[in-house]
A = this chain, B = another copy of it.
Amino acid sequence: MPKIVNHDHQKQKVAEAAWRVILKQGMEQASVRNIADEAGLSVGSLRHYFATQSDLYAYSMNMVSERVAQRIQNIKFSGDVLHDGPLLVHEILPLDQETRLEMEVWFAFVVKSLSDLSLESLRKEVDRHMRVIFTSIVQGLIDQSLAKPDLNADFEAERFYALVDGLAMHAILRPELLPPDKIKALIRHHLYSLCISEVRGPDPS
């Protein structure tokens, strides 16, 4: 009888091995051979799951965004944008050890996507999702009559999105300067800064 192996499970294990190689040794060392070694497979077995290095990279990059998407799906939304907005944004940010590793892998793939067209479409698809999220938060403030008058929704979504990606990057690069509580306080402060003065958040410190 042939050995029964859960195909998807094996692919995830290989992708996790790819993450570990990238985190420990950098993208330049993430060859099919090194990833197979890390996964405890022969190169031949790995080829059974991923025909090309590009396939393996695309799957490994996608696994990051799938995990973020899964966490966002699990959020219990209240309908109050001042409550839901931060919950959404927190799932995008590296606020614990697990999500810090995910974000570090993500940045490595994002930089790689600049010279590897096979990763570009996934990167742009995730970017589109992010823009929808930030636009929906700002539009939520407007719809719930919380936003400052004349707020430009597209413009503010762009600013909020850039702030969050900048914080994500800084949290990876200088974790000692950006502990999770400080990041959350910055997000809250920014969200309240878009609101009319009657809506005042906690002190920014």
Contact = CB atoms under 8 A, between A and B. Distances in A.
A170 B159 contact: no
Nearest to A25: B115
B189 A155 contact: yes
Contacts of A165: 166, 169-170
B163 A110 contact: no
A111 interface: yes
Contacts of A186: 155, 158-159, 162
A23 interface: yes
- Report the copy number of this chain in the oligomer: 2
A167 B163 CA distance: 8
A68 B173 CA distance: 20
B115 A111 contact: no
16 contacts: A23-B115, A26-B115, A27-B28, A107-B111, A108-B114, A127-B173, A152-B204, A155-B186, A158-B177, A158-B182, A159-B186, A159-B190, A162-B186, A163-B163, A165-B166, A166-B166
Closest 5 CB pairs of A and B: A166-B166, A162-B166, A26-B115, A165-B166, A28-B28
Interface of A: 22-28, 30, 104, 107-108, 110-112, 114-116, 123-124, 127, 152, 155, 158-159, 161-167, 169-170, 172-174, 177-178, 182, 185-186, 189-190, 193, 204-205
